[in-house]
Structure formats: structure tokens, C-alpha cells
Amino acid sequence: MADRTESSIVIAAAPGVILDVIADFDRYPEWAGEVKKAELVSEDGDGWADQVEFTLSAGAIKDTYVLEYDWDVAEDGTGVVSWHLVTAQVLKAMNGSYTLEDNGTSTAVTYRLSVDVKIPMLGMLKRKAEKVIIDTALKELKKRAEVLSRRSDIS
């Protein structure tokens, strides 16, 4: 499962705003279309989510799974948020990351994802599914973060 899919987007919001969206798992069903439920399982001593349980419905892939997170981020929100699969029914592996880089007036976000399922599936189909998941997630993350950024600019 060495193959992974990656894509980037520029978001008109500060890295901290984007990191807040990424870390607010309870709100994922509001903006991440395939996520039907996200629930904190445990957090580390700094208040960051350590493990989160998700219920996913993404086309042919429907599953409830737990991801474990690593937060290698600075106070300004730049850095890398990465995760790996702990438990699942359908998924065999899910490893990914968001990398946030400050561009001054915007933030470059790179999303990397590698997914494997227990049912047989051609590698080409897995990469296509990863690409759809990444593109959708980045577009929705952009929309959510930019709305929140505009709200904070007004207040």
C-alpha cells in the first residue's frame, strides 16, 4: 500500500483558522459530506484529539472506524496533522495528513491519503476513490475555513 494520493489547495484564511476547522471533529458532519458522525474517543494532555471515531458513507465505502492523530503543529497553526487507522470493519488501512503552510494572506494546504480496504479492489479504483475523497475534503475545508475567517474579520 505504498501508493498514496495527494492534492493541494490555497485557502484565504490563516493557518490557525484552518487548524481549528480540522480539529473540530464534532462539526465534521456539517461540512465533510461523507462523514455522517465524528466522536472524540480520547485526547492527549494538550487537549488535541488523540483518537476519533468516524462513521463514513462514501459511495461504495461505508464504515465506522477509529483514527489516531499526531499534531506536529506550531502555535500559529502551521505544520502537519497526520493520522492512521486503529480499527475498522471495511477499511484495512487509512493513513493521511494535512500540511499547512502560511503564505502571508493565505494558507497552502496539502492533503495526502492512502486507503486500503479488506474487499478486493483494483489499485486504480482505490487511487480514484482517494482522489475523490481528497478533492471533496479540500474544497469543503476551504469553504468552511473561509466562511469562518470572514466571520472573524467582521467581529
CB within 8 Å of 125: residues ≥ 6 apart: none
Q: What is the 3-state secondary structure (H, E, C) of the chain?
A: CCCCEEEEEEECCCHHHHHHHHHCHHHHHHHCCCEEEEEEEEECCCCCEEEEEEEEEECCEEEEEEEEEEEEECCCCCEEEEEEEEEECCEEEEEEEEEEEECCCCEEEEEEEEEEECCCCCHHHHHHHHHHHHHHHHHHHHHHHHHHHHHHHHC
pLDDT of residue 65: 95
Number of domains in the chain: 1
CATH number at residue 97: 3.30.530.20
- Going residue by residue through the chain, which has 155 residues, state the pLDDT in tens, using 9 for 90 and above: 446 789 999 999 999 999 999 999 999 999 988 899 999 999 988 889 999 999 988 766 788 999 999 999 999 999 999 999 999 998 888 999 999 999 999 999 999 988 877 766 556 666 676 677 778 889 999 999 999 888 765 54
Range of 45's domain?
5-154
**Pick from 137, 136, 114, 133: which is nearest to 18 by CA?**
137
Global pTM reads 0.87
Amino acid at 47: G
Cβ atoms of 94 and 84 closer than 8 Å:
yes
pLDDT of residue 46: 83
Number of residues that make up the chain: 155
Dihedral (CA of 59, 54, 126, 18) sign: positive
pLDDT of residue 1: 42
pLDDT of residue 125: 65
